[in-house]
Amino acid sequence: MKTLEWRDNKLILIDQTKLPDELTYFTCNNYIDVIIAIKGMVVRGAPAIGVAAAFGMALAYLEDESLEKVAEEIKAARPTAVNLFWAVERTLNSDNPVEEALKMYHEDIDTNLAIGNVGAEIVNDGDTILTHCNAGALACVDYGTALGVVRSAFNQGKDINVICDETRPLGQGARLSVWEMQQEKIPVKLIPDVAAGYLMQQSQIDKVIIGADRVARNGIVNKIGSLMVALSAKHFNVPFYIAAPISTFDKNISIYDTEIEYRNADEVTHYGGCRICPVGTEVINPSFDIVPKDLITGIITEKGIVDPLKLKKFIQDLD
Ligand code: MRU
């Protein structure tokens, strides 16, 4: 089973809120179910959100809804990952949203395999790679971007070790990335987010590879905590790579103009269902942060590795 599948005119999703303890599925019978799944993070990760949104448009088309109206509703589900907006526009402008969504589904898999092949070149035998959040198969239709690079390097026979940041508050690293690596017996260790800097200082990390929710001319936006990892990596001269498909690139804005999603306080006040702070504690819970291009070594895409110094030109030249 892939992260999402289209069966009998329904969208079936792996319910990521239940992993790693239960591998269960969430069925979207209509486009409203897709919005609920995206908002509730049943499906999450920029490419997976994009393809799920495309199938949301496909369901709306089959339900004979106004696609312009539904497009606005789906776009309001989560604000930061540009893939959501890209996918909705692409299906809206197509003759048949079902066929277009299926095309995007297959393209996503091919793109990730290409990113994996391109990115494996920068991975050396013996490398220990730190990753943040989950930019794996679960964040895409399959294979993954950052973890796709890891998979390709591992499948080439390279001896690699993966370190996953826990990724508070929702624990995508602990719950999802560790689970994915364990499924394929890729050596993996979990660290608390706050340990990344120390491990770099101790020369225990050779490279960082993470995903992105948006790549713009002056940097990237990704899961909260990415900036702290990037700053540590710069300080300790650890190469810091982004792996992202072209569908995550945004021609139009500066990263500083990206809308950063703020999520519910209970994600921070509670962990695993238990309250970890006094009742009534006020919370600030930004879900993403901004990594300027001068902290980035390279951006691994299906079209090759983009030098951040040439990012502006690369984005300008995209169709
Ligand atoms: O809030 P999430 O879990 O949707 O955030 C996901 C990330 O930040 C990923 O790193 C990003 O979407 C890239 S996934 C290939």
Beta carbons of 229 and 295 less than 8 angstroms apart: no
Task: Write out the residue limits of the CATH 3.40.50.10470 domain(s) in the chain.
Answer: 123-316
Whether ligand 1 lies within 6 angstroms of the CB of 207 is answered as no
47 lines ligand 1 (CB under 6 A): yes
| Residues carrying CATH 1.20.120.420, the chain | 4-110
Q: Can you list the residues of the chain whose pLDDT is less than 70?
A: none
DSSP string, 275-308: E-S-TT-----B-EEEEEGGG-SEEEETTEEEPG
To the question of domain 4-110 being in CATH 1.10.10.10, the answer is no
Tell me the two tokens of residue 163: 């370190």
Question: How far away, in angstroms, is 214 Cα from ligand 1 center?
Answer: 10
Q: Tokens in use for 16?
A: 């990521």
pTM of the shown model:
0.97
Cα separation, 229 vs 193, in Å, equals 9
Distance 236 CA to ligand 1 centre (A): 25
What are residue 300's DSSP bridge partners?
243, 305
pLDDT at residue 39, as a whole number:
98
Contact predicate 48/13, CB 8 Å = no
Q: Is the domain covering 123-316 a CATH 3.40.47.10 domain?
A: no
Tell me, what's the pLDDT at 1? Answer: 79
Q: Which residues are catalytic?
A: 213
pLDDT of residue 94: 98
* pLDDT tens sequence across 76-121: 999 999 999 999 999 999 999 999 999 999 999 999 999 999 999 9
Average pLDDT score, the chain: 97
Question: Phi-psi region for residue 9, left (φ > 0), alpha (ψ -120 to 50) or beta?
Answer: left
Q: Identify the residue whose C-alpha is closest to ligand 1 atom 6.
A: 45
Q: Is the confidence metric ipTM above 0.85 for this complex? A: yes
| Separation of alpha carbons 139 and 248, rounded Å | 13
Ligand 1 close to Cβ of residue 133 (< 6 A): yes
Cα separation, 220 vs 172, whole angstroms: 19
Dist. CA 242 → ligand 1 center (Å):
12
Measured from the CB, is residue 171 less than 6 Å from ligand 1? Answer: no
